[in-house]
Structure 1
Amino acid sequence: MTAKQTPLYETHIKYGGKIVEFGGWLLPIQYAGILEEHKAVREKAGLFDVSHMGEVLVEGPEALEFLQKLVTNDVARLAETQVQYTPMCYPDGGTVDDLLIYKYSQEKYLLVINAANIDKDWNWLKENSAGYKVELANLSADTAELALQGPSAYAILAKLTDVPLTNLKYYWFLPEVQVAGKTVMLSRTGYTGEDGFELYCRPDEAAGLWEALMAAGKEYNLTPAGLGCRDTLRFEAALPLYGHELSAEITPLEAGLGKFVSLTKGDFNGGEVLAEQRQNGVRRKSIGFVLTGRGIPRAEYPVMLDGRRIGTVTTGSYAPTLGENIGLALVEADYAIAGQSFAIEIRGKQVPAEVIKKPFYHRKGQ
């Protein structure tokens, strides 16, 4: 199958993006370099193309009931123009995907889903919609998305819109605003651990919007940012990545996402299994760790204790902001205790490590 291009593909080439295939899409892994882009987002601002993400519109008189059955969080708690993060589970408690829900009204919601899961999620949504008075529309191909992230994101965006951005709180959105003369849906969301905004627009307007943001951000040293630093940024903030911290074999409670699981809202897919896990405890837990020996942990590396495998690294990397080699791992619950020592097996060598608190990074003022 041929890899797909986002509407910004030529723009990435123009800006010197190093293109790789990710989830069936051709996307920039980096421009100037992962460490440089990471630092820019932490200290100033970075601009990401996230047009590969999927968007599904859910409309109808039973839209709320449908979503309540589908996801683990309590969608009824959402106010209009509020955004909610939630896992979506199979009946056995394993995770279909994690997503954002944008509430327009009681009968209209937009779901933003992971790029690699678009087809799977779309089929799952359609299959589960039987019997509900809802209409689903896959808007993924008709939507481009840019993410402006970092401490200077507010100042840059304020130059391009008349909307008073101070009124837009974290995890809220404006359904229709003008930015650089283009109509966008604007949300104060992101996946970097920093303040920032995500802008949803028509595909044919994405390149113009990118250029307008880059021009407005020149005095703030706005940097084009690729998938490489998107991963190190989200990882320092201990934000889960589907296929790593979450999967069909990992429940939200095992992943440490209990605050996004509401067991009091009524019946939902996976609810019985998650209720049992909450009552009796999980057998495995997601933990953060730091290597105390030399080496860089990577996904799938074994976590070892006394010659026995007690878990698996789900994400590992050098953390640029912290200057340490750290990781997330899924381990037997008995060993998910701060200060617990074990070893990560790196190319046949046992490298000492210990459990530390998550998230590894908090933005200033948080």
Structure 2
Amino acid sequence: MSNLKRTPLYETYKDSCKLVPFGGWEMPVQFIGIKQEHEAVRTRAGLFDVSHMGEVEISGPDALALIQKLTTNDAEKLQVGKAQYTLMCYPDGGTVDDLLLYRTSEETYLLVINASNIEKDVAWIKEWQTGDVTVQNRSDSIAQLAIQGPLAEKILQKMTAQDLAEIKFFSFKENVDIAGIPVLVSRSGYTGEDGFELYFDAEDAPFLWKKIIEVGGVEGLLPCGLGARDTLRFEARLPLYGQELSASISPLEAKLGFAVKLDKGEFIGQAALLKQKETGLTRQLIGLEMLDRGIPRNGYTVWSGNKQIGTITTGTQSPTLKQNIGLALVNIAYTQIDQEVEVEIRGKRLKAIVIPTPFYKRTK
């Protein structure tokens, strides 16, 4: 794995976790165990190193115009101090990437993009760059931690004078003093739980990681790897690029229409997405629960009778629900709730049923 990139925290945790290649990075998949880390986030709190994610700053008088051209959501409605989930599309409606967009000033935006897509995304943005606008890839200088779970606010509050309750969902504050470190604190997450993303100077990552684990350990916080991050986001039906989204899967097919504003000004992919909506989708993402014994995995085929109708994008035994469940991209004729289908697992076609998503939703 010598050719893989490493986050500023690699030396801090390399001897206390299992490392795997992910999107060109050497990342921890687990520390204690995926199920234990998953349960910690659902019931207490977990800390994730997500410094592999990319950060691109777009600034200048024409920054908003560029972002409106590039993204599917309506950035014009985004106030300073607010964040927005959005996507970039190709002209044919396929997905370049999904991302978080932060408006840090009247003419400055921070785009948080997927680790495996950094070079591709930056090239795509620059390809469409026009007018008085500066595009700066800040990925190498910014570290990102995510503290997630019902006790996330209580733990982080011990380390700052800032009233964290003032930071509402999909809002953020810059230069918050966390244990003496200036941090952009954002309230969102990729787990289905309450929590915060912390953006700060990469040099401060080892100190802040150790400090949060020290303070949070009293409340049962665990360091968490990509394994638990994946099972948590899957239960909440949050997409993973490369599985639920790709250059060949549109946001509408992935059931992300809430982030696609077809009535705003012109944007890349708009015509193709409009056509999909007007003529009707031919396929869409659904949730499945296995009726027979077996776990649906990414790439397994979905059938109705002798007809292959789709493919599993993500599947596992849900640590929270204790059920074998999956997400699948299937022919639109087989998306009705309670419809029975089959999943081919190790050469056998096993019964499954279409169920509502998200599979998990926190109650408060």
TM range (shorter): over 0.9
Q: What per-residue deviation string (whole Å, max 9, x for no partner) do you get for residues 24-70 of structure 1?
A: 11110001100000000000000000000000000010111110010
| Residue in 1 that maps onto 2:254 | 255
Decide which moves more: 213-222 or 138-147: 213-222
Shift of 1:278: 1.3
Using the alignment, how far apart are the partners of 1:334 and 1:176 within structure 2?
50
Using the alignment, how far apart are the partners of 2:176 and 2:249 within structure 1?
38
| Residue in 2 that maps onto 1:7 | 8
- CA-based RMSD of the aligned residues comes to 0.8
Q: What per-residue deviation string (whole Å, max 9, x for no partner) do you get for residues 261-295 of structure 1?
A: 00111110000111111122110000001001111
How many correspondences in the alignment?
363
Are the aligned partners of 1:4 and 1:25 in contact in 2 as well (CA < 8 Å)?
A: yes
Identity %: 53
Shift of 1:13: 2.2
> Given residue 180 of structure 2, which amino acid in structure 1 is its aligned partner?
G
| Residue in 2 that maps onto 1:236 | 235
> Given residue 115 of structure 2, which amino acid in structure 1 is its aligned partner?
A
**Runs of 4+ with deviation above 3 angstroms:** none
Are the aligned partners of 1:291 and 1:352 in contact in 2 as well (CA < 8 Å)?
A: yes
Using the alignment, how far apart are the partners of 2:131 and 2:333 within structure 1?
42
> Given residue 328 of structure 1, which amino acid in structure 2 is its aligned partner?
L
Provide the TM-score with structure 2 as the length reference.
0.99
| Residue in 1 that maps onto 2:354 | 355
Shift of 1:203: 1.1
Using the alignment, how far apart are the partners of 2:13 and 2:336 within structure 1?
43
Are the aligned partners of 1:63 and 1:106 in contact in 2 as well (CA < 8 Å)?
A: no
- Give the secondary-structure state (helix, strand or coil) at the position aligned to 1:126: helix
Using the alignment, how far apart are the partners of 2:57 and 2:308 within structure 1?
43
Q: What per-residue deviation string (whole Å, max 9, x for no partner) do you get for residues 237-280 of structure 1?
A: 00000000000000000000011100111110000111111122
1:93 equivalent in alignment to 2:93: yes
Q: What per-residue deviation string (whole Å, max 9, x for no partner) do you get for residues 315-350 of structure 1?
A: 011100000010000000011110111100011110
| Residue in 2 that maps onto 1:51 | 51
| Residue in 2 that maps onto 1:207 | 206
Q: List alignment gaps of at least 5 residues for structure 1.
A: none
- Give the secondary-structure state (helix, strand or coil) at the position aligned to 1:220: coil
| Residue in 1 that maps onto 2:106 | 106
Q: List alignment gaps of at least 5 residues for structure 2.
A: none
1:218 equivalent in alignment to 2:217: yes
| Residue in 2 that maps onto 1:275 | 274
Q: What per-residue deviation string (whole Å, max 9, x for no partner) do you get for residues 197-233 of structure 1?
A: 0101111100100111111112211100000000000
| Residue in 1 that maps onto 2:60 | 60
- Give the secondary-structure state (helix, strand or coil) at the position aligned to 2:296: coil
Using the alignment, how far apart are the partners of 2:214 and 2:363 within structure 1?
26
1:321 equivalent in alignment to 2:320: yes
| Residue in 2 that maps onto 1:122 | 122
Using the alignment, how far apart are the partners of 2:116 and 2:269 within structure 1?
22
1:331 equivalent in alignment to 2:330: yes
| Residue in 1 that maps onto 2:145 | 146
